[in-house]
Amino acid sequence: MELRVRETMIGVAGASLGTAVLLLVPAQVPGATIAAIGDMRSPAFFPVLAAIIVLAGATGIVLAQRRAEPPAAEAMPTRPWAAMAAVIAGGTAVPFLGIYAGLLVAMLGIGVVLRTRPLAFAITTAVSLSAVHLLFARTLRVVFPDPTLPLPSWWPH
C-alpha cells in the first residue's frame, strides 16, 4: 500500500477513535459531557483531554502527508497474522482445555509459523511447560482456571 495512503488511513483511524471517545463520554461516564474539558474535577476531564490529543495527533499525521513524497512501501506480510491467530487460539483454548493445553496450542501455532525444527520444538515445549508448572504452579502457587470441558482426570490443568 502506498505510504501516503497508509499514513492517511492511520490519521483517519486515529480521528475516528478520538471522535468515538468524545461521543461515548456521556454514555460511559455517568453524569458528564464533553463540556467536562472545562472542569478539571470531573471524571470525564481526562478522557476528553486524551481524546482531543488523539485527534490532534491524527490531524497532524494527515497534514504531514500533504508535504511528504511517497517513497515505496513494502507490502505487509501475512505470516504475523498467522502467528497472532495462533496466540489467540491458544488464549481461547485456555478456559476450555486448561492452561497447559492452551499454551500448547499457542506454541504449536508459533512453531509452525516460524518453522521451528521438530527436535528444537519438542525441547522448547518440554522446557516451557515444565517451567510453567514448577515455577508458576508449584513455587508461586498461582491458581490456573479449571477447564470447563469434561476432561479425563489425568488431563493436566
Partner 1 sequence: MIENLIIGFGVILNPASLLAALAGLVAGIVVGAIPGLTATMAVAILSPFTFFMRPEVGIPFLLAVFKAAIYAGSIPAITIATPGTAAAAATAIDGNALARAGQARRALEMSLYASVAADLMATIGLILLATWLASVALAFGPPEMVMLYLIALLTIGSVAGRSPAKAALSAGVGLLIASIGLDPMSGQTRFTFGSYELSGGIAFIPLLIGLFALAEVFTEAAARPPEPAAVNAIRPGEAALKLAEFLRVTPTIGRSTLIGFGVGVLPGIGAEIACWLSYGLAKRLSKEPELYGRGSLEGVAAAESGNNGACPGDLIPMMVFGIPGDTVTAVLLGAFMAQGLTPGPLLFQKHAALVYGFFAVLIVANVMLLALGLGAIRIARLITRIPRSALSPLVVAVALVGAYAVNSALLDVWIAIAGGVAGYVMRRLGIPIPPMVIAMLVAPGLENALRQSLLLSTDGLAIFVTRPVSGVMVAIVAAALAAMTWAAFRRRAA
Partner 2 sequence: MLKRTILCGALGAALLAGPALAQATFPDRPVRLVTPYPPGGATSLHAAIITTVAEPFIGQPMISILRAGGGGVVGATEVARAQADGYTLLLGDPTINSLRPQVENLPFKAEDFIPVARINFAPVVFVAAANAPFTDLAGMIAHARANPDRIVYSSDNVNGLTFTAFEMLKAGANIRMRGVDFGGGGPAMNALLGGNTMAYAGLPAVVGEHIEAGKVKPICVTDVARLARFPNVPTCAEAGQPVQWLFWLGIMAPKGTPQDRIEKLSEGFAKMAQDPGFLTLIGRINSGIQFLDHKAFAEAFEKEKAELRTLYANLRNR
Q: Which does 152 bind (CB under 5 to 8 A by kind): partner 2, partner 1, none?
A: partner 2
What's the CA gap between 68 and 36, in Å, rounded? Answer: 37
Q: Check residue 31 for interaction with partner 2 (CB under 8 A).
A: no
Q: Tell me how crowded residue 131 is: count the other CB atoms within 10 A of its CB.
A: 10
CB of 92 to partner 2, least distance (A): 21
Q: Tell me how crowded residue 28 is: count the other CB atoms within 10 A of its CB.
A: 11
CB of 152 to partner 2, least distance (A): 7
Q: Which does 37 bind (CB under 5 to 8 A by kind): partner 1, partner 2, none?
A: none
Q: Check residue 150 for interaction with partner 2 (CB under 8 A).
A: yes
Of 74, 93, 87, 107, nearest to 145 by C-alpha is: 93
Q: Check residue 152 for interaction with partner 2 (CB under 8 A).
A: yes
